[in-house]
Chains A and B, each alone.
Chain A
Amino acid sequence: MTGAGYAFYFNSAACSGCKACQVACKDKNRLPLGVLWRRVYEISGGEWKQVGQAWVTSAFAYNLSIACNHCRDPICKKVCPAGAISKRADGIVLLDSKKCLGCGYCAWACPYGAPQYDEAAGHMTKCDFCVDRLDSGLPPTCVAACPMRALEFGNREELEARYGRLEEIYPLPDLEITEPSLFVNKHPKVGGKGYVANREEVAPVRKKMSNR
């Protein structure tokens, strides 16, 4: 991979929220309970209003499948005290578990909830873009698993040329924080006032652990 490096593309308009990507990732990486490298956020909103004799709805829902965005300016790499996080020439941000202290600072710093603490292992873990599959010429397992073909991957510059720059989409944070290598086709309902409806499911592991 040359040029700007790898990036993900997600078609929110095509995503059915089936979570096959989430399950495939968990299965392939043998992730323990409470660790989700890829998380499918369900954003809901809207209301029902009575207009005359009729009830009119503005209710909506859409999904966002987010893993590590292998950002151009990864904040996790900056804040890690042990230097356990590095960015490869192909753009993939990797976490070296042998160096990791398990302090969790990267989890605090990441606006996408990508680094996840594995309590049994005692260190942080995160999406590695399935580098082993890439080396074998295969797509990341989440991309391969999606029945709706809502997930793609490729060269960042090519994806940007094809799909345009990433726009601000709730609940994604300000893109300038870390410049994620992510492109999203907006669902038609994006823009209404929504909320993350499955927060308990995708909640950062840090909170789950501190509740024990």
Chain B
Amino acid sequence: MKERPLIAFTILAQMAVGALLALAVMIYFGKNLGGSSNFYYLNVNRYLPFIGSAMLLALFASLFHLGTPRNAYRAIANFRSSWLSREILLSGLFTAGVFGLIIRFYGHIIIIPAFLERIAFYFTALLGLGLVFIMARIYMITTQPAWNNLWTPVSFLLTSLLLGWLFLGAVDVIGHLILGWQSNPIDQGLNTPMQWLVYTSTFFLIPTAIITILNLKSPVQLPMTAFPSSQTRRYWLTGLRLALLAFCGIFLALFLVSLNGFDIQAGGLYLLARSIYVLAAFACGLFSEIIGRYLFYER
């Protein structure tokens, strides 16, 4: 029974949910901002396998938390009262939804009207949002006062949004650099998906940093089940986390600054530099969230 697999599960699953939410928001606002909300224009299908893989990896990691993994099939047996059962159920439904979308976009097996396609996409995104809140609800039990407050769902949601946004950016970079993705003609401004992702993800950094600072104080524990934790270590790890968040912001800012005078035809070093900024931002954000989740479980 260990918490490290839980760190992996919650981080990866929340990241996957955030990435799908980002796609859903891009499609919706793309339509309203005069840009295209066409799935194929935005190449939504390219990102889905990565999101699905992250979820599968999350579910696989969660098995290592169990003392008896062979009984894992029983995990949804008590969904009537156990939030943990509900989490597993919704994880499965969300993963199934993502892979259903993958099959639809790649297999073209099912012919459905475009509006139903859109509804299926938004519905899966909502399932993911529900999953994040159910994950938080698991920890909001009376006997864990350190977790039983609004910061738990807020911080889980922020993890999802920050990492999901950054993950999409990183996937986009890897796709273009390694997988040979071709970009569609880019219209300037917020309609450019990558720019929009980077621009908006900076807004998640500040609330994340604020919550990190607020969680510095010693955790409240029930006296019968309390165990000592090192406050000095909390301070050091919190400092490291804040530093990583700051670096994440710096790399995102460098990316945005580098867009000035950007010419898609330039390619070469410009593309490489901006790719490094996005990947570095994702790495900093990911490690920051891993530290944050470790501190969460230590409470």
A-side residues, CB < 8 A to B, are 41, 66, 75, 77-84, 99-105, 108-113, 117, 119, 121-124, 170-174, 177, 195-196, 199, 203-204, 206-207, 209-210
Contacts and interface: CB of A to CB of B under 8 A. Distances in A.
A108 B143 contact: yes
B74 A171 contact: no
Given A81-B84, A206-B1, A101 B74 contact: yes
A171 B143 contact: no
A119 B223 contact: no
Given A102-B66, A199-B227, 18 more contacts: A79-B141, A81-B82, A81-B88, A83-B78, A101-B66, A102-B67, A102-B68, A103-B66, A104-B1, A108-B143, A111-B142, A111-B224, A117-B1, A171-B223, A171-B224, A196-B224, A204-B227, A206-B1
Given A75-B143, A101-B68, A119-B1, A110 B74 contact: no
A207 B227 contact: yes
B222 A81 contact: no
Nearest to B147: A108
B67 A101 contact: yes
A173 B227 contact: no
A interface majority secondary structure? loop
Top-10 shortest CB links A-B: A102-B67, A171-B223, A122-B67, A207-B227, A82-B74, A81-B84, A81-B85, A83-B77, A111-B143, A104-B1
Contacts of B191: none
Interface string B119-135: 00000000000000000
A117 B66 CA distance: 11
Contacts of B69: 101
Best-surrounded residue of A41, A104, A196 (most CB of chain B within 10 A) = A104
